Amino acid sequence: MEVFVFSLFNGVLYGMLLFLLASGLTLIFSMMGVLNFAHASFFMLGAYFAYQISQPLGFWSALIAAPILVGLLGAAVERYMLRPVHRFGHVAELLFTFGLAFVIEELVQMVWGKVPVPYDVPESMNITAFAWQGLDYSAYRLFMLVISVGIFVALFFGLTRTRIGLIIRASLTHPHMAAALGHDVPKIFMWTFGVGCALAGIAGVIGGNVLGTEPGMAIQLGPIVFVVIVVGGLGSLSGALIASLFIGILNNMAISYDFSLYPIFKELGVERNVEGVLADLVNLTTGSIAPLLPYLLLVLMLIFRPRGLFGMRDV
């Protein structure tokens, strides 16, 4: 029971972290039609900036400053680099962000080196928040959960209760209407991109010290976030939320329970001493295939529901 509660807790946490990335990605995609391949790279920059800022100024300054910096950088990238590419179409835009991801990874290596940097959980929160039936739950994880849920709530209210949220939601469903209503669309695009990147930056600040801050972190997390938004249905925020949480929980359950897959094979008439390909498979546990689960989910989704959970527009 306690294993279940804890892995549920961790799963929700991981899911919310994914959602911080997926929500920004979805906002950008729905507004601009651009899939920001470099989104996870901004997540990585968030972590590195936080590391750099927290060295002299401490974690709390980093928590505020790093996402702002990442957001400004994102806005600048949109304004000066992505916007000129817009006229070449969406594939060119996707290719641009792909190239950007490539370049950011190399730049990060250039500045901070190829090995992980020691970006650590702040001392003050490196304590046990509560212990239950012999399992500890760290204060920092609790803090991460509070932050990500807080941002989710803020985003939700921002989108449903404010004027700018109304415009954004209108552009989600009717991409061309916002322009027709006389809004300065290029500016909205720029700030959407900036805010989306800033959200990824926040995820980097609060996640970097737990997941590890190193040049490979973007390419590790990026594809999972893309799976999230395809499974949720491209352009759907609620789809992204559900898919994030589902993948987060699935992943943690698979790891903490670590079921053996052998019973399934046994049921199929395969014994432990088989040879060939099956020999590698019968001894698998859910923990060892956990990293693959999002992609398996993607394949299943494609077979049974190609548009994703809540996908409307075919893009």
- Give me the residues that bind other proteins (CB under 8 A), please: 29, 33, 35, 81, 84-85, 88, 90-92, 94-96, 98-100, 102-103, 106-107, 109-114, 219, 223, 226-227, 229-230, 234, 276-277, 279-281, 284, 288-289, 291-292, 294-296, 298-299, 302-303, 306, 314-315
**Cα(19)–Cα(15) distance, integer angstroms:** 6
Question: Measured from the CB of residue 232, what is the shortest distance to other proteins in angstroms?
Answer: 12
For residues 167 and 188, the answer to whether their CB atoms sit within 8 Å is: yes
Closest separation between CB of residue 136 and other proteins, Å?
Answer: 30
- Whether residue 25 contacts residue 45, with contact meaning beta carbons closer than 8 Å, is answered with no
Residue 178 CA, chain-centre distance (Å), reads 27
Tell me how far, at minimum, the Cβ of 33 lies from other proteins, in Å: 8
Smallest gap from Cβ 275 to other proteins, in A, equals 8
Residue pair 212/115 in contact by the 8 Å Cβ criterion: no
Q: How far is it, in rounded angstroms, from Cα 262 to Cα 283?
A: 6
Residue closest to 261 by CA, chosen among 290, 237, 233: 290
Nearer residue to other proteins within complex by CB, 59 or 193: 193
**In this complex, which beta carbon is closest to other proteins, that of residue 35 or of residue 205?**
35
Both tokens assigned to 32: 């601009």
Distance, CA of 12 to CA of 144 (rounded, Å): 11
Around 218, how many Cα atoms within 13 Å sit in the side-chain half-sphere? 27
Whichever of 107 and 211 has its CB closer to other proteins, that residue is 107
Between 72 and 107, name the residue whose CB sits nearer to other proteins: 107
Comparing CB distances to other proteins, the nearer of 206 and 298 is 298
**Tokens linked to 138:** 């760290």
Give whichever of 203 and 221 is closer to other proteins, judged by the CB atom. 221
- Nearest distance, CB of residue 141 and other proteins, angstroms: 26
CA dihedral 281, 284, 289, 290 (to 10 degrees): 160
Q: Which amino acid is at 38?
A: A
| Minimum CB distance to other proteins, residue 64 (Å) | 27
Please, what is the minimum distance in Å from the beta carbon of residue 227 to other proteins? Answer: 6
Q: Which is nearer to other proteins, 46 or 294 (CB)?
A: 294
Environment class of 269 (CB within 10 Å of its CB; exposed 0-12, middle 13-18, buried 19+): exposed
